[in-house]
Structure 1
Amino acid sequence: MLGKIQATGSKLFARGGVITGRIMNTSNVWLTKSIYYGKVGAELSKEIYRKEGLTPPNVDEFKSVYAKLLGLGKEYSKKPTELLNMAKSLKKNDLLKYGSYGVQILGFFSLGEVIGRRKLVGYKHY
């Protein structure tokens, strides 16, 4: 009886070792691919950054943009009829232009969601 239990235990241990080895091998492959593509992406981003002459905005530029937005928000909150009149005066071409901007923004957001979830539809249920 004891020999049978030991034989069964050693078989289970061997199977567990094989499964663990496969998991380790798969995770090692994914890790090396992730590191490689991360480095490639970083180098590509550096090249684009240099060639396009991109620079991040400085603090003063951030402050000026948000100060203007805050000022506009305060102005329109004091005179909401002015905002309504401006919205009513929009022409068809303006609506199409701003609508297309909205669709583009929604598309980029949706693409980011798909990339983040690594699925086209829905989240995993845990």
Structure 2
Amino acid sequence: MERSLVKKSETSLSTAIESIEGIFFDKDMKPFEVPLWMETLVGIDWTLLHISPLYYGWGVPQGDGSPVILVPGFLANDFYLYDMYFWLRRIGYTPYLSNIGWNADCLNVLVNKLAETVSKAHE
């Protein structure tokens, strides 16, 4: 029963994504050619992510509990990594946020903060 429900939702999702991609996205378009107004479609991306079976860990190989440290990109913080954090936890890993604050500090400070997180993950 659960398997057929997943298959049916994957088919419906695939159909929905294909119809949306056909309207809004041209696969041959280079990043610098994408019009700025397409940034307003972030809600569609967010919705498609959250209705995907993969987001809930269905059909994804389960992790073995290994620690994973999530480090934000330059000038970012841990906030935008929460979706990935919870997804990794759902599929069986032990994720850790970096706790470095904004990734714009001196390298020595960032390394010290990250070393604390690494030692916490190593325990």
Q: TM-score range by the shorter chain?
A: under 0.3
TM-score w.r.t. length of structure 1: 0.26
**Which protein has greater RCO, CA pairs closer than 8 Å, 6+ apart?**
2
Bigger proportion of residues as helix: 1
